[in-house]
Amino acid sequence: MIRDPDIDLAPLQGRTVAIIGFGNQGRAQALNLRESGVAVRVGLREGSPGIADAQSAGLAVMAPAEAAAEADLVMLLAPDEHLAEVYDRIEPALVGGAALGFSHGLAIHFGLIKPRPDLDVIMIAPKGPGSALRSLYQAGRGMVALAAVAQNPSGGAWPLALAYASAIGCGRAGIIASTFEEECVADLFNEQAVVWGGVPALLQAGFETLVAAGYKPEVAYLECVSELKLLAELIEARGIAGMAEAISNTAELGALLGGGRMVDEAAQRRMQTILHEIKAGDFARALGEEAAADYPRLRHARARARTSALEAARQQLLGGR
């Protein structure tokens, strides 16, 4: 872990950073940088709803190519599937020897973008959403990040990546030296097989099993979904071993007997299949195809989730709040 006392902020001093995109990460990183004393400008396309938001935060906003022109570091913080198009638009404006930055390895690792050879290419990937990156920074804390270098013609790409990570607050928590490949594959694997894919699918299946057996949807929701927050807090505070010790003997024995049956060798083989597909580039291709078709699968899944029995149970519990 590399932390603030080991990081030299000089590579960013007197430099200008252009943040392209003012969404989840763009907003948080731009505001944190500014409060760390870095000169920031935001690049957004015409008509973007983010323009008013960035301007009301007191940031200079311009078209992406204009923001990139003369910037020393240009961070591409639009959705991954649009980064190639964004890069093509700004590339002619990039000054020789500038640096290009990412917060996820996908576009570089899977070759969606082939940056000009004179550019330094770095990654600073905070391990969590932009909203948390911002709130932690405001609370004087930080979020762990992975950092990496893909191109280093200047010889100064790594110290620049560390200075940037520190300026967005990640040096307070710790920075791990990584690669675009490692960050990208591990991140996609977690999203699909573990926290963001596996866990919600397990909660949904548990809810449906109890409801199908005649139990009230509100009770099924409380048991199978609401308790996840308690589990996450316990694991965060005490680790998995400490969590198991903190719960009742009834829950601990039940978890021991049931957990191994739910996630058995067959489940681990499916995880290996997902990992293999990610590494082969299947997911990167699927993401591109989904975007090109205007997100049919995402639209369908969002509509179905909004009208699901599980969501109805949640609304019932909220009582219209």
Q: What letter represents residue 271's amino acid?
A: M
Give the contact letters, 47-66, x = binds to ligand NAP (CB under 6 A), - = no.
-xxx-------------x--
Count the site residues for ligand NAP by CB under 6 A: 26
* Paired residues of 296 in beta bridges: none
Concerning whether 276 is annotated as a catalytic residue, the answer is no
Sole binder of ligand NAP in the list 79, 239, 259, 260 (CB under 6 A)? 79
Shortest distance in whole angstroms from residue 308 CB to ligand NAP: 23
137 alpha carbon, distance to own chain's centre: 16
Piece of 19-27, 191-199, 209-217, 225-233 that binds ligand NAP (CB under 6 A) = 19-27
Shortest distance in whole angstroms from residue 16 CB to ligand NAP: 19
Report the SS3 class of residue 271.
Answer: helix
- Which residue pairs, CB below 8 angstroms and at least 24 apart, start in 200-208? 202/262, 203/228, 204/308, 204/310, 207/309, 207/310, 207/313, 208/309, 208/310
Extended strands (E) in the chain: 16-20, 39-43, 60-62, 73-76, 99-102, 120-126, 145-151, 175-177
Scan residues 130-159 and list those touching ligand NAP (CB under 6 A). Answer: 130
Report the SS3 class of residue 51.
Answer: helix
Shortest distance in whole angstroms from residue 180 CB to ligand NAP: 11
Piece of 108-116, 125-133, 236-244, 308-316 that binds ligand NAP (CB under 6 A) = 125-133
125 contributes a contact to ligand NAP by CB under 6 A: yes
Q: Are 23 and 51 in contact (CB under 8 A)?
A: no
Q: Which residues bind ligand NAP (CB under 6 A)?
A: 21-26, 44-45, 48-50, 64, 77-80, 82, 85-86, 102-104, 125-126, 129-130
**Which sequence positions are flagged as catalytic?**
104
